[in-house]
Structure 1
Amino acid sequence: MRKVVLVTGASSGVGLALCKRLLEEDDELHVCLACRNVSKAEAVSADLLASHPAAEVSIVQVDVSNLQSVIRASSELKQRYTSG
């Protein structure tokens, strides 16, 4: 299984810059974009995959200022990435 990196705020600013930098260092990573706006995240995902086709990119919708959203996202991520 690939190393999974969860990046919050990944659709712009520092979060997006971090995603690009991580993939420049290791394009075999699985980068999970944690964003409020799924449509923006989908566009970012397409751009990242265009420049790093060996990478794996997924999206989880989350608003880190909303506890219920964080709990829901953490449960979803646990299901996706827990082996067993």
Structure 2
Amino acid sequence: IPIIGNVISNIAIVSAGLTISVQLATFGLGYLVVIHKLEYILNSRIVGSSIDTPMWMTLLGLIVGEAMMGVPGVLLAPALLHYVRAELRAIPTR
């Protein structure tokens, strides 16, 4: 559902921009892309702090999860990442 909201907002803003000029529509689309990428980074930081995982690892997990399974992969990635890290920490070291 969040992806559909992004698409609808992108279409609405680009359409409104096109009524004025192509440059404004292009600027609007570029702005939205930057905002959505920042959202990914902030989400990975928030989720990572709640499951005690570094931001870069959470972001990588989200990207891999999306590439492998789409939206379900994004939803499952933080839980799976937390589980794998907990299991690896439980392995005794010498």
Same structural fold, with TM-score higher than 0.5 when normalized by the shorter chain: no
Q: Which has the higher contact order (CA 8 A, sep 6+)?
A: 1
Bin of the TM-score, shorter chain as denominator length: under 0.3
**More helix, by proportion:** 2
TM-score, normalized by length of structure 2?
A: 0.25
**Which is greater in Rg?**
2
